[in-house]
A and B are shown apart, each in its own frame.
Chain A
Amino acid sequence: MANMHTNTAEVSLFTLFGAVLKRDLLLSFRNKSDLVNPLIFFVMVATLFPLGVSPQPNFLSEVAPGVVWVAALLATLLSLDSLFRSDYEDGTLEQVILSPQPLMVVCFAKVVGHWMTTGLPLTLLSPLIGLMLFLPAEGMFGLLSSLLIGTFTLSLVGAIGAGLTVGLKRGGVLISLVVLPLYIPVLIFGSGVVEAAAMGIPYDGFLAIMGAMLALGCVLAPVAISAAVKISVSG
């Protein structure tokens, strides 16, 4: 017991966070399809809207905020299943739970890694989609900032669903059912920011609300994610 205690003291939480983050980033850069697939999906979904609805520039520029946001949300959703999957299958997750390090910090690091490999690239790619959908140039900064904050919240909330469904063989549809209703506030405020920015209205208030949601997510989501992971692994 004393040995275990000194063991915990040796590794600071920041070292732990850094180590998990580095490992996850390395893994996803080694396996490039996980990195690229959500981005391709993002572009494809955004392409479907002009094809399915109307290619008229003034119509598209009106719906662009919503379309980009829905596409980003679905791309994030699609990438969630891989968040814990391989760690669950090769037993890493079990070892992490057994280790004396706090599971919450590990989960948070994994979510940060997930965001850096999906949310961040999606954000960087979004001006291209905005251009294709004739989003007014004034809206671009709103698009970038809302996606930067919002996709992190999406990763945090989605990780709860990923943790709950990781033990199931067919978790794919279930994770969407579970997570999508929880994504609605982020979608509303995210597309609201872009819309306001495109119209030239000040949007920093909405952005602040998104920041508040992110702060709440950072505090509460790791608790729920670690509980969810523990439930899935114990079963």
Chain B
Amino acid sequence: MAGTKWMPRWFYQLASPRWCYEFTGKLLPWCAAVAGILLVVGMVWALAFAPPDYQQGNSFRIMYIHVPSAILAQSCYMMMAIAGAIGLIWKMKVADMVAYSCAPIGASMAVIALVTGAIWGKPTWGSWWVWDARLTSMLILLFLYMGVMAMYAAMENEAMAAKAASVLALVGLVNIPIIKYSVDWWNTLHQPATFTLTEKPAMPAEMWLPLLVMVIGFYCFFAVSLMMRLRNEIIRRERRAGWVRDLIVAYPNTGKR
């Protein structure tokens, strides 16, 4: 019965909370294993084997956390908005739950990117915070996440909250390029040209290969945490459905599923 057939059906079935729960349950251990391997390999490679930077010495190694989290913070917003749009247009409950589960993950990635950026900035620029265009747009992205999360928290009716937050996420998605552009413009107007270190020099392969591993590892980690949140959310929202009750009743006998 499970989706061994072909794509359309496989995708279509994801709209059913029950099917989605079972599907992600099967996918989860594999994703977790891949994420674990990639992150361990990438981290050891980045911290122990990649050559130190000729200018920044070893302090640049925080980049291997900073860059993947920054990339993920942006991708996660995109995913949240697209899932929200799918939820708005096709009224898929699972898409609403995906959007809801994306928000805190993306927000924490933005926080990680900002904090590691500050730690990196201290030895490089001599200050924790610089009103650099990239830092500022990441901060604004975090504000957008906060707004979406506040929207979810403010409404008691879950279906209504999902719709409202999806509209907000979509408006934010239209705004992100405008914000990015205006912050860049503002930055060139106000910023003295001393902080060009954010322009990354061309990196040798032994430096960017571990970065690539880390980025893919972060994506897998994102998939794992998204699926875990999503499964919790499915169980919580579908708690009145028969299959969830059966699952809860069956839980002590069959073990973890």
Chain A positions within 8 Å of B, measured between CB atoms, are 157, 160, 164-165, 167-168, 171, 174, 177-178, 180-182, 184-185, 188-189, 192, 213, 220, 224, 227-228, 231-232, 234-235
Q: Which residues of B contact A213 (CB under 8 A)?
A: 178
Interface string of B179-193 (1 = CB under 8 A from A): 101110110010000
A220 & B164 in contact (Cβ 8 Å cutoff): no
Question: Quick check: is B103 within 8 A (CB to CB) of the other chain?
Answer: no
Give the residue among B150, B154, B185 with the most A Cβ atoms within 10 A: B154
- The distance in angstroms between the C-alpha atoms of A84 and B89, with both chains bound, is 25
Question: Quick check: is B155 within 8 A (CB to CB) of the other chain?
Answer: yes
- Given contacts A188-B183, A224-B170, whether A181 and B143 have CB atoms under 8 Å apart is yes
3 smallest A-B Cβ distances: which pairs? A235-B160, A185-B182, A181-B143
B147 & A181 in contact (Cβ 8 Å cutoff): yes
A174 & B178 in contact (Cβ 8 Å cutoff): no
B154 & A224 in contact (Cβ 8 Å cutoff): no
A184 & B140 in contact (Cβ 8 Å cutoff): yes
Q: How would you classify the secondary structure of chain A's contact residues: helix, strand, loop or mixed?
A: helix
Number of interface residues, chain B, beta carbon within 8 A: 30
B149 CB to closest chain A CB (Å) equals 9
B146 & A235 in contact (Cβ 8 Å cutoff): no
Q: Which residues of B contact A157 (CB under 8 A)?
A: 171
Question: Quick check: is B174 within 8 A (CB to CB) of the other chain?
Answer: yes
Question: Quick check: is B65 within 8 A (CB to CB) of the other chain?
Answer: no
Chain B positions within 8 Å of A, measured between CB atoms, are 88, 140, 143-144, 146-147, 150-151, 154-155, 157, 159-160, 163-164, 167-168, 170-172, 174-175, 178-179, 181-183, 185-186, 189
- The distance in angstroms between the C-alpha atoms of A224 and B163, with both chains bound, is 11
Q: Which residues of A contact B185 (CB under 8 A)?
A: 188-189, 192
B238 CB to closest chain A CB (Å) equals 21
Tell me which of B160, B171, B186, B189 contacts A231 (CB under 8 A). B160
Tell me which of B157, B168, B179, B181 contacts A164 (CB under 8 A). B168
- The distance in angstroms between the C-alpha atoms of A188 and B181, with both chains bound, is 11
Tell me which of A160, A167, A185 contacts B179 (CB under 8 A). A185
B147 & A178 in contact (Cβ 8 Å cutoff): yes
Q: Which residues of A contact B178 (CB under 8 A)?
A: 185, 213
Q: Which residues of A contact B167 (CB under 8 A)?
A: 160, 164, 224, 227-228, 231
B164 & A228 in contact (Cβ 8 Å cutoff): yes
10 A–B contacts, CB within 8 A, in A order: A164-B167, A167-B160, A168-B154, A174-B150, A178-B150, A181-B172, A185-B178, A188-B182, A188-B183, A188-B186
